[in-house]
Amino acid sequence: MPESPNSILPWAEPAWYSGRPSPYYKESHVRLRDYVKKWVAENFAEHAEEWEQLGKIPDDVYQKCARDGLLVPMVAGNRIPKEWAQYPIAAGLKPEEWDGFHDFILWDEIFRGAPSVSNAFVGLVVGAPPIRMFASPALQAKVLPEILTGEKRICLAITEPSAGSDVKNIATTAEKTADGKYYIVNGEKKWITNGMPADYFMTAVRTGGPGPTGMSMLLIPRLPGVKTRKLEIGAGGMGATTYITFEDVKVPVEYLVGKEGMGFKYTMSNFNHERLFISFQAISGIRICLQDAMAWCQKREAFGKLLIEQPVVRNKFGHMARQVDSLQAWIESIIYELEHLSHEKGSELLGGVTGLLKVQSGIVGKYVADECVKLMGGLGLTKTGQGARIESISRGANVLIVPGGSEDILLDLGVREAIKLSRKAEKAKL
Ligand SMILES: Cc1cc2nc3c(=O)[nH]c(=O)nc-3n(C[C@H](O)[C@H](O)[C@H](O)COP(=O)(O)OP(=O)(O)OC[C@H]3O[C@@H](n4cnc5c(N)ncnc54)[C@H](O)[C@@H]3O)c2cc1C
C-alpha cells in the first residue's frame, strides 16, 4: 500500500495508511484517499476561516464540489445507484466500485483536511437520502439534479422546540387544502444544521392524528412563509444552525415524500447512516488531536525533559491509542457488515448497534479532546497557534454527543434493539 503523504506520527492516520495489511482496502480506496486529500488541501484548507463568517461554502465552490465528484457520494452513502453514473464521482470511480469504505475515506479526508468546512455538508448528508429512498420518481427527477449538481442545498428539519428526542410528538402541521392540491404548513423547527443556506427543508410534519402514524415527510422549498434565523452555538459557523418558522406555507402535494403516515419510519431509518457519519467525524477529530498533541509533546520541554519522555504523558497516549484503535476496528466491522446485508436487513440488525457505536464515538472523542487540551497546556485553550485545532475540536466535542440521537437515548435504543432481536431468534427456534 503506498504511504500517505500526510503525517507519520502515531495514530495520526489509520494504520493501513502506513502499509499495515487490512482486509478492507484495495486500489480504488487508495486512489480516492489521495484524490480527496489533495482536493481538500487545494480547495478548502485555506478558506476555512473566511467561510466561517459567511456560514456556508460559496456557491461557485459548492458547485465545483459537484463537478469534481464529491456531492454524489455524500448523498449516496455506501451505495451509488447506477443511474447516477451521469454525474461525476470523485477519483473517477464508477458507481459499482463504490462501497462503504469509500464513504468512510471520503469523510475521513474531508474532516481531517478541513474539519470546520465539513459541517457545511451535514444538511446534504442527512437531508437528501430520503429523496432517493422514498420520493416519487417525479419528485426525484425534479429535485435530485438540482441537489447533485450543487445548484440547490438541503437540510433535515425534524427537531422542534418542544420535541427533540421524542420525535413522534412533533407538532408542525401540514393540512391539505379542500381541493387536495396543497399542504398548508405551520410550525417551528429548532437546531437545524445548514438551515440558513438551504433551498429545501426535508421536514417531519403532522398530516394526521397524534403519535407516529400521524407523521409524514414533506420536502418544503423555500417558499413565502418560511423564515430562518441563525442560532449561535459554540461549535462553529459552518454548521449554520437554524431556527425555522413555517407560517401558512403553501406546499404543492407533489412534494410529499413517499406515503402519508410513514414519516416516523422514514425518519428512524434515515438516522442509521447519520450515526455512522458522526462516528466518522469523531474518529477524524480524535486523530487530529493525537497528531497535534504528539507533535507538541515531542518538542516541548518541561522539568528538563521533553513531555513525551515523561511516563505519565506516555500513559495518557497509551490510553488514547487503545481507544482510537478499537473505535477504528468497530467502525470498519459495521461498514463490512452493512456491505454484506440488504438495506432492510442492515437496518434491522445494525440499527441499535450503530446507535451504540455513535455513543462510543462521542465518549472517546470527548475523552481524547480533553486529554489533549491538558497536554497542550495553555495552547489547548487558545484559538490560534499550535493548539488551535485541539481547542476547536474540544469546544465542539458535545456535538458528537447530542445531535443525531442523544447519548442516553441511544444507549437505551441499543439495548432494546438487542433484546428485540434475541426474542425474535428465540421465537424462531420454537
Ligand atoms: C449542533 C446541533 C445540530 C443539530 N442538527 C439538527 C438537524 O440538522 N436536524 C434536526 O432535526 N435536529 C438537529 N439537532 C437537534 C438534535 O437532534 C436534538 O437536540 C437532540 O435530538 C436532542 O433533543 P432535545 O435537544 O430536544 O433534547 P431532549 O429531547 O429534551 O432531551 C434532553 C436530554 O434528556 C435526556 N432524555 C430525554 N429523553 C430521555 C429518555 N427517554 N431516556 C433517557 N434520557 C432521556 C437525555 O439526556 C437528553 O440528552 C441538532 C442539535 C444540535 C445541538
Which domain-ending residue is among 261, 278, 309?
Answer: 261
- Which residue, by CA, sits nearest to atom 17 of ligand 1? 403
Residues 257 and 271 in one domain: no
Ligand 1, closest atom to CA 406? 49
| Residue 128 in domain | no
Residues in CB range of 255: below 8 A, 6 or more apart: 139, 183, 218, 219, 220, 221
The CATH number of the domain holding residue 193 is 2.40.110.10
In this structure, the answer to whether residues 100 and 170 fall within a common structural domain is: no
Supply the pLDDT for residue 2: 38
| Domain contains 133 | no
Do 401 and 350 belong to one domain? yes
- Gap between the Cα atoms of 372 and 292, Å rounded: 8
| Closest-lying ligand 1 atom to the alpha carbon of residue 123 | 8
Say whether both 163 and 270 belong to one domain: no
- Here the CATH number for the domain that contains residue 104 is 1.10.540
Given ligand 1 and candidates 270, 402, 415, which is best to mutate, with the most ligand atoms within 8 Å of its CB? 402
Atom of ligand 1 nearest to the CA of 233: 1
* Overall domain count for the chain: 3
Q: 300 and 312 share a domain?
A: yes
Taking the CA of residue 126 as reference, the ligand 1 atom at the shortest distance is: 8
Mutate which of 191, 246, 274, 398 for ligand 1 pocket (most atoms within 8 A of beta carbon): 191
What per-residue confidence (pLDDT) applies to 237? 81
Residue 130 lies in a domain: no
Asked whether residue 338 is assigned to any structural domain, the reply reads yes
The binding-site residues of ligand 1, defined as CB within 6 angstroms of any ligand atom, are 155-159, 164-166, 191-193, 233, 235, 239, 241, 399, 402-403, 406, 408-409, 412
pLDDT given for residue 7 in this prediction: 83
98 CA distance to ligand 1 middle (Å): 32
207, 352: one domain: no
In a domain, 147, yes or no: no
155 CA: nearest ligand 1 atom: 8
CA 405 to centroid of ligand 1, rounded, Å: 6
Residues 312, 314, 320, CA angle at the centre, nearest 5°?
110
What confidence score (pLDDT) does residue 1 get?
40
293 and 306: one domain? yes
CA 402–ligand 1 middle distance (angstroms): 5
User: Within this chain, do residues 312 and 384 fall inside the same structural domain, yes or no?
Assistant: yes
Residue-wise pLDDT for 311-369, tens only, equals: 999 999 999 999 999 999 999 999 999 999 999 999 999 999 999 999 999 999 999 99
Choosing from 126, 165, 190 the residue with most ligand 1 atoms within 8 A of its CB, the one to mutate for a pocket test is: 165
Residue 344: CATH number of its domain: 1.20.140.10
Same domain flag for 316 and 424: yes
pLDDT of residue 3: 41
Burial class (CB in 10 A: 0-12, 13-18, 19+), 162: exposed
Ligand 1 atom with the smallest distance to the CA of 166 is 29
CA of 173 to the centre of ligand 1 (A): 20
Q: Is residue 47 part of a domain?
A: yes
pLDDT at res. 53: 86
Residue 119 lies in a domain: no
Is 271 found in the same domain as 244?
A: no
Question: Which of 169, 406, 407, 416 is the pocket-test mutation for ligand 1 (most atoms within 8 Å of CB)?
Answer: 406
Same domain, 323 and 408: yes
Q: Point out the domain boundary residue: 56, 89, 113.
A: 113
Picking from 82, 113, 144, the residue at the C-terminal end of a domain is 113
Distance 333 CA to ligand 1 centre (A): 27
Tell me, yes or no, whether 277 and 409 share the same domain: yes
Residue 236, pLDDT score: 72
Distance 219 CA to ligand 1 centre (A): 22
Q: 303 is in which domain, residue-wise?
A: 264-429
Report yes or no on 7 lying in a domain: no
Listed as ranges, residues in the chain with pLDDT below 50 are: 1-4
C-alpha cell at 114: 478541513
What is the whole-number distance in angstroms between the Cα of residue 15 and the centre of ligand 1?
A: 34
pLDDT digit string, tens, across residues 301-312: 999 999 999 999
User: Which ligand 1 atom is at minimum distance from the Cα of 195?
Assistant: 8
HEC readout, the chain: CCCCCCCCCCCCCCHHHHCCCCCCCCHHHHHHHHHHHHHHHHHCHHHHHHHHHHCCCCHHHHHHHHHCCCHHHHHHCCCCCHHHHHCCCHHHCCHHHCCHHHHHHHHHHHHHHCHHHHHHHHHHHHHCHHHHHHCCHHHHHHHHHHHHCCCCCEEEECCECCECCCHHHCCCEEEECCCCCEEEEEEEEEEECCCCCCCEEEEEEECCCCCHHHEEEEEEECCCCEEEEECCCCCCHHHCCEEEEEEEEEEEHHHEECCCCCHHHHHHHHHHHHHHHHHHHHHHHHHHHHHHHHHHHCCCEECCEEHHHCHHHHHHHHHHHHHHHHHHHHHHHHHHHHHCCCHHHHHHHHHHHHHHHHHHHHHHHHHHHHHHHHHHHHHHHCCCCCCHHHHHHHHCHHHHCCCCCCHHHHHHHHHHHHHHHHHHHHHHHC
Distance from the CA of 166 to the center of ligand 1, in angstroms? 8
